[in-house]
Amino acid sequence: MPAFPHSTTSTPTAIAVPPSLSLPVIEAAFPRQLHPYWPRLQENTRTWLLEKRLMPADKVAEYADGLCYTDLMAGYYLGAPEAVLQAIADFSAWFFVWDDRHDRDIVHRRPRAWRRLRCRLHAALDSPRDHLHHEDPLVAAFADSMVRLYSFLPRTWNTRFAGHFHDVIEAYDREFRNRTRGIIPPVGEYLALRRLTFAHWIWTDLLEPCAGRELPDGIRKNPAYRRAALLSQEFAAWYNDLCSLPKEIAGDEVHNLGISLIKHEGLTLEEAIREMRRLVEKCVDAFLVAEADALRFADGLDDGTARGRELSAAVRACVRNMRNWFSTVYWFHHESGRYMVDSWDDRSTPPYVNNEAAGEK
């Protein structure tokens, strides 16, 4: 079936989802939507990638649109003001490029380069304006993203977001050490680390500028709200692992739920895939219950005051976008060239990365 009632491409085609990855409940119960700003979003992010020198011009021209990074964000943060969505989409594109740099530093055994980048990102996160013209394009582009994202909500939100992203950087460092040492984490340890490397709380934090206000701690930490947020992100992380398993096996990865199940639970590849599907489907079912609880919680915030009405509306907007994460993540994995391993010349080397940068051969 088509992913969109109106496709994001000029030649709409039905998306063929492999049976092992097909989730009929997503296709039936989570209709996909797209922010109306999407066409300009795609164009502007493509331009930003070039201006910030995050990808070579030939890679941008050949691969940027097909990677569908803007589609992913335009399907998630519905209702966001255009400037907010643009900042999030550029940051998301940066995140994927950073993930690729991290991967290449591992593959080409460059621990000093990774440590240097890690320290620079921590510094840019705390004082982005001081790093806007950094010599490393990845650092400068990150600083640009942070200046923009920090402009939408109060300092308290900025501090929380920065704290969450410091944790993400450190999680990437733990993944670097695991991969360079060939350490496959046990399932429980892997799932805890995955919540950080997938940046669960970063994408959840970004729901708030889209809704137009920072949520008080008491709302964000309410069990109903927090469980719905966590389940939406767990689905995305686990489904990503399911879809990227062939790519990561080809690249000698050690960080994947399926790989941990095979190593530590003694499952075969086929059994691991079935177990990952079971966990993903269970997550969807649990979200449907949590979503209803979170919406009831939102309704209860409306106490007849202006503040109560505004908080209720903001929470409902955030929960609606948690739902959107399911469909946009699902279709992204079947549209993006990031996961089309069988079409690559070398299954261990994505064609969209600059594999000759920084002395690589």
Specify the 3-state DSSP secondary structure of 212.
coil
Separation of alpha carbons 322 and 225, rounded Å:
10
> What's the angle, vertex CA 118, arms to CA 221 and CA 73, rounded to 5?
50
User: In this structure, are residues 195 and 226 in contact, taking their beta carbons and an 8 Å threshold?
Assistant: no
Active site residue 161: no
User: How many other C-beta atoms are found inside a 10 Å radius of the C-beta of residue 31?
Assistant: 12
Phi-psi region of 138 (alpha: psi -120 to 50; beta: other; left: phi over 0): alpha
Active site residue 116: no
Tokens of 310: 């505004």
User: In this structure, are residues 197 and 96 in contact, taking their beta carbons and an 8 Å threshold?
Assistant: no
Catalytic, out of 110, 120, 194, 338: 338
Catalytic, out of 96, 160, 195, 277: 96
Active site residue 338: yes
Catalytic, out of 30, 152, 198, 332: 198
Catalytic, out of 4, 30, 91, 95: 95
Active site residue 96: yes
Closest CA to 60 of 48, 77, 76: 48
Separation of alpha carbons 56 and 137, rounded Å:
11
Separation of alpha carbons 99 and 253, rounded Å:
13
What are the distances in angstroms from CA 112 to CA 8, 119, 257? 41, 11, 28
Q: What are the catalytic residues?
A: 95-96, 198, 338
